[in-house]
Structure 1
Amino acid sequence: MLIFISFYNKSSLMRLSVVYRDTIDVDSIRRIVDLGVHEIMIDATRGLGVIREAASITDEIGVPLNVLMDSSCFGASHLIPGGYETYHGYLERLEMMGVGAVTLTEAYLIDMVKNEFTMDVVASNILSVTTIAKARYLEGLGVDRIILDPDINHDLELLCRIKETVSCDLILLVNEGCIKGCPFKNAHNNLISHLEGAKPVPKIESDYYSTWCISKKRNNPILIHDSGWIKPEDIEKYIDIGFDNFMIGAYRGRCPLNWTLSVVEAYRSRRFEGDPVNILTTPLEGRDA
């Protein structure tokens, strides 16, 4: 769920991807592009009207658009009678709008896009790619890029082994605030999928998983430090081992442009001073977690 950003420094080309969840307008997109945007990604749940507007703006500015279709649960809607026609028609509309890539979680849809469309396919971090075998399976399906699970961000040896094994591009999500090894991550992703998916949307009393996460971090702040996020000042270590594609996530709900710009600047400059929770996607009180 994301924006691809690239810029030059003295030693390397770095590409950042950023989840953009604020107003889609020329001025906002230009402010991001001014930081060196390579590709803009937005959530499919924002609707075709917003996607069409974003595609028009990115085409005008000269950067490609990537649409996130990375729900962890589609409710089998793609496999029911008529499902193929529904999703094929939707993807066809995206391609006609000029969308350059889609980020996916479903093998069925990955296969459809690779065989019947020209858009690039990005395998979402929701797929929890933490092993060489998983990366190989996805490469075998033809994906162009894989967003690795942040749980392995600090295992540089494993990252190198995966990179040596597959030829597709690998992306590191740098600011996810989830508890490392959280046993409820899949359940939380499924809840979000149902809350943001097809109607009718279930009316829940509370987001238990976010409440649990906040409570654990409040009682044991070391969980924030030990999570898979990468410090801005550590980016060069990853570039040195051959990784130059990075992704900046966003917390749920409307994520203000100024927040996005500040996080991008922190990673662009390789420097951040302050509380790390201010640049992470971790649920916090006062946010729509």
Structure 2
Amino acid sequence: MKFSVGYQLTGDNRFLEAILRNREQISEVYFSWGNLPNGRHAATLHETLSPWEAKARMEEELATLRDAGISFNLLLNGACYGDRSLSKAFFREVCETVEEVGSKFGLSSVTTTAPPLAHLVKVNFPEIATRASVNMGIATPQAAEYLGEDFDGFYLPRELNRDLAKLEEFSDALEKMGKTRHILANSGCLNHCPARSYHDNLVAHEAGIAGMDNAIPFRGLCADWLSKDENRRMILSHLNLIRPEDLCHYEELCDSFKLATRVSPDPVFILESYAAGACHGNLLDLTEPNHAGHFYPIVLENDKIPPEYGLYAASCAKKCHICGYCGRVFDAASRNLEDLFVASADCQ
């Protein structure tokens, strides 16, 4: 079982040390470079370090991972590159970026949302594997065939994590096509979110948006949806998260599991939980985006979730309006931290 782990420039060395400690289970570390839109903010955006200090430390840490024998995946997965998308200058910048990263650290693959960029890499860097981002939403063999030979691998859609039959069918088809298959294990995105494309576009343009006199903030549709008590109770049926304990049901269907850790407040917890195959803590702290804050003071104790839950949720009829099983599991696993604090105070 291999993991693809997102690089994050943290305030200490704990995450770097966790990657090194679990390197036998890590197939690659993925990251963005420079100011190219990539689905998250720039990797060198840091609260306490200047951009130059952050870049120097990022390069130092990547060199450490390189020397430990860990492979790298470069993200070219912005949802939008604006009016530069087809320009010669932009294509030149992408090639220069691939060359720079490859010469400094070595580069085994790139992940992109843009077919022209996949073709660009294929033509100019044939030794580098190209991978279709999960944000492309490639969900059928037919869709994969449209892309021809420009993509060597595909991220399977998040929503198929909750439909093992369809996931197996698509995975088998990709394998017969000679493609590698990859699964995002811990996404916090709601299933079938209608604002996903819009949100991804906002992220791609966040630097420009930050300089505008904006009318409103956009927190994401999930934040508004989770502000209602009745919706929070149904979170399990609306997520596509694979718990560490349930990876065994998916292991034969992919070549690696991607762990979203680039903006998590605790990437060490995510990596250690999946590497160990068990989460002992708040299940909501595994997701990126992290949803734990929407539920506080309620936590969802993963140890209280029945071991059969994962397989059930991935194989059920999806008649959530008449079933209620996920809601009952949520109730059984929920703990109110304020109640625990009160009980602790009473004991004293």
Which TM-score bucket, shorter chain as reference? Answer: 0.7 to 0.9
Residue 26 (structure 1) shift: 7.4
Question: How large is the RMSD of aligned CA atoms in angstroms?
Answer: 2.7
Residue 168 (structure 1) shift: 1.3
Residue 116 (structure 1) shift: 0.7
1:65 to 62, 68, 72: 72
Q: Any idea what SS the aligned residue of 1:170 has?
A: strand
Aligned residues: 265
User: Larger Rg: 1 or 2?
Assistant: 2
User: Which residue type is aligned with residue 218 of structure 2?
Assistant: Y
1:119 to 128, 134, 143: 128
5 Å matches for 1:254-269? 255-256=264-265, 259-269=266-276
1:286 and 1:202 mapped to 2: Cα distance?
Answer: 27
Question: 2:235 maps to what in 1?
Answer: 224
Residue 142 (structure 1) shift: 3.2
User: Which residue type is aligned with residue 128 of structure 1?
Assistant: G
Q: Which has the higher contact order (CA 8 A, sep 6+)?
A: 1
Change (3 A) 1:28 1:268: closer
Mapped pair 1:78 → 2:70: no
More displaced stretch, 264-273 vs 181-190: 264-273
Mapped pair 1:39 → 2:28: yes
Identity over aligned residues, as a percent?
23
2:187 to 168, 173, 176: 176
Indicate if the aligned counterparts of 1:21 and 1:250 stay in contact, CA closer than 8 A: yes
1:189 and 1:246 mapped to 2: Cα distance?
Answer: 22
Name the structure where helix makes up a greater proportion of residues.
Answer: 2
1:278 and 1:232 mapped to 2: Cα distance?
Answer: 12
Q: Any idea what SS the aligned residue of 2:138 has?
A: coil
Indicate if the aligned counterparts of 1:24 and 1:53 stay in contact, CA closer than 8 A: no
1:236 and 1:145 mapped to 2: Cα distance?
Answer: 21
Mapped pair 1:247 → 2:258: yes
Question: 1:279 maps to what in 2?
Answer: 286
Question: 1:7 maps to what in 2?
Answer: none
Query: TM-score, length-normalised on structure 1?
Result: 0.80
1:284 and 1:25 mapped to 2: Cα distance?
Answer: 23
Residue 20 (structure 1) shift: 2.3
Indicate if the aligned counterparts of 1:146 and 1:171 stay in contact, CA closer than 8 A: yes
1:68 and 1:269 mapped to 2: Cα distance?
Answer: 27
Q: Any idea what SS the aligned residue of 2:284 has?
A: helix
User: Which residue type is aligned with residue 143 of structure 1?
Assistant: F
5 Å matches for 1:37-186? 37-44=26-33, 45-46=42-43, 49=55, 52-97=59-104, 98-117=106-125, 118-138=127-147, 140-166=148-174, 167-186=178-197
2:154 and 2:217 mapped to 1: Cα distance?
Answer: 29
Question: 2:199 maps to what in 1?
Answer: 188
Query: TM-score, length-normalised on structure 2?
Result: 0.68
Indicate if the aligned counterparts of 1:68 and 1:102 stay in contact, CA closer than 8 A: yes
Residue ranges of structure 2 left out of the alignment (5+ in a row): 34-41, 45-51, 295-348
Residue ranges of structure 1 left out of the alignment (5+ in a row): 1-13
**CA deviation vs aligned residue, 1:232-261 (integer Å, no higher than 9, x gap):** 22111112x433411111364xx45xx222
Change (3 A) 1:25 1:40: farther
Indicate if the aligned counterparts of 2:9 and 2:43 stay in contact, CA closer than 8 A: no
Change (3 A) 1:24 1:147: farther
**CA deviation vs aligned residue, 1:4-30 (integer Å, no higher than 9, x gap):** xxxxxxxxxx01122222249877434
